[in-house]
Amino acid sequence: MKKLFLPLLIAVSIISLASAQETAAKAEPQKLQQTIYYGGDIVTMEGDKPQYVEAVVQREGKIVFVGSKADALKKFAGKAKEVDLKGKTMLPAFLDGHSHMYNVGFTSMAANLLPPPDGPGKDFDSIVKTMKAYKDSEEGKYVTGKTGWIIGNGYDDSQLAEKDHPTAKVLDKVSKELPVLIIHQSGHLASVNTKGLELMGYTAKTKDPKGGALRRDKDGNPTGVLEEAAFFKVLIPVLAKVDDEMSSKMIEKGQEEYAKNGYLTAMSGRTTVEQLAALKTGAKNKEYYIDVVAYPDIALGTDFIDGKDYSPSHEYKNRFRIGGVKLTLDGSPQGKTAWLTKPYKVPPTGQKEGYKGNPIMSDEEAIGFVKTAFKKHWQIHCHTNGDAAIDQYIKAVDAAEKEFGYPDHRTVMIHGQTLRKDQIPDLVRLKIYPSLFPMHTFYWGDWHVDSVLGEPRASYISPCKDVLKAGLTITTHHDAPVTFPNSMRVLDAAVNRVTRSGKILGPDQRLTPYEALKTFTDWAAFQYFEENSKGTIKEGKLADFVILDKNPLKVDPMKIHDIKVVESIKEGNTVYPKK
């Protein structure tokens, strides 16, 4: 009897405790944060076809009810705040397929040199004028005071009237006393003024760094235009000067950009040692109100990725975690530094006919990095724009899988701009999941046709439909700060593939609006290993929602980019607009 008595007593105690908690919930509903949402299109994003429900209830940050409005009110009326959506559309919050959240904060503090419609950068004169105004602004003085450089971001030679990069001579009009750095929209090139070249010690005698190049005039003198590693040798020391105060401002500004576009899980890809330290400090200081996942640059070493930060269970600490590692194998197609198997249609300045871009590293190095990730069971995301870089990545994953294969690694191919149809079966075989960049069809589609790739390669850029038909779980992304983290522009590009000039680029690769939404809800949660807590509206998952003024599934697809994010809700709390 004694042996039976103790378990029975424990069982009775558990039942009594549960009953007491339920009674307390009924007696003191005001102490529970509960909300009923109804009155609009609530799309759960579960299943292969759109499913709508009348009401959703969240309690203390979790979804506790999904169903009819009548049942929701019957069960929760008087115990929860009621929110009438008034015809607006509710979706699960968006997960960022790939970008650089920390850098978004940094570039948001720099001068905006993006081309129209996102900025004023239409020609050299507009860049000089914008940089001069920024230099004398409060923000400009703050950034220059912290970093020592006058910094602009987002110029795009393909959209400038001159169809070229501003040189040191152009930027000398901004300042001859202070160094000037303007970053190309791709994030893979930049231009500096004469003072910047002097500070870096870049002269005619300087050899091109491995994985990069200094563009030169006919006499061999640097023009000020820097590719890849030559640019990063400038940028990394600049970022290293960011102190705790500026870093905190960057984290705040970065989160604002994501939240106002419905992204409540943001990626900080290819983080450096210094950036990771800053992100960890942000978590320690509880600065995050959205979830942030970092993927440190594996090429910088692995000592700074310690076991305390990387969670195999993918759990957050103060809304931050390390998701794995990032590898970069080539550059950008619009900047003509991506590594291709066939030549660029028009080679960039200083290159001969037949130019195909260049690899960043050897096959042996790439294989070594991927093997390290597989051996340690780290998820790996790899930047591969050119099809030659994709070939190299496939070879590396194949080798790593054979030696250190582990189940459910969810390896990701980032960008895959010039992915060939014959490469897709290898992605399926190796379970390499693509995160594609269809926004290129709008921003650089015409440029790809006329100068970068030509047809038919240009029309096959970011082949979303073919990888989906092959059975791969895909995501789409904005790669901010390459573009703004504009979720509706991402959706529009995946659905319409319309270029700036109005041409439809590769109509057979368009996704349906529902498929496109899946790429940054349900399927994105899978790539993050977070399908049990995010991506769909389902009981037990986090109450992460985005509210839109119109339903993307019901409007004219060509009007999708006009849809506005009205509200972003993280675990039951409104984070945009800020109250």
Q: What are the strands, taking DSSP E only, across 44-88? A: 52-59, 62-67, 81-84
**The two domains 120-240 and 329-511 share their CATH topology (first three levels equal):** no
pLDDT number for residue 109 = 93
Encode the chain (579 residues) as per-residue pLDDT tens digits.
334 333 333 333 433 434 444 444 443 444 689 999 999 999 999 999 999 999 999 999 999 999 999 999 999 989 999 999 999 999 999 999 999 999 999 999 999 999 998 899 999 999 999 999 999 999 999 999 999 999 999 999 999 999 999 999 999 999 999 999 999 998 889 999 999 999 999 999 999 998 899 999 999 999 999 999 999 999 989 988 999 999 999 999 999 999 999 999 999 999 998 899 999 999 999 999 999 999 999 999 888 776 667 888 899 999 999 999 999 999 999 999 999 999 999 999 889 999 999 999 999 999 999 999 999 999 999 999 999 999 999 999 999 999 998 889 999 999 999 999 999 999 999 999 999 999 999 999 999 999 999 999 999 999 999 999 999 999 999 999 988 899 999 999 999 999 999 999 999 999 999 999 999 999 999 999 999 999 999 999 999 999 999 999 999 999 999 999 999 999 999 999 987
With vertex at residue 419, the alpha carbon angle to CA 293 and CA 392, rounded to the nearest 5 degrees, is 75
Which among 225, 508, 524, 536 is positioned nearest to 350, based on CA atoms?
Answer: 225
CA dihedral 228, 230, 235, 238 (to 10 degrees): 170
Report yes or no: 416 and 462 within 8 Å, Cβ to Cβ.
yes
CA–CA separation, 343 and 453 (whole Å): 8
pTM for this prediction: 0.89
Could you tell me which CATH number the domain at 120-240 has? 3.10.310.70
pLDDT at 186: 87
The whole-angstrom separation of Cα 234 and Cα 215 is 15
Give the CATH architecture of domain 329-511.
Alpha-Beta Barrel (3.20)
**Do the beta carbons of residue 545 and residue 80 sit within 8 Å?**
no
Domain ranges (residues) in the chain: 120-240, 329-511
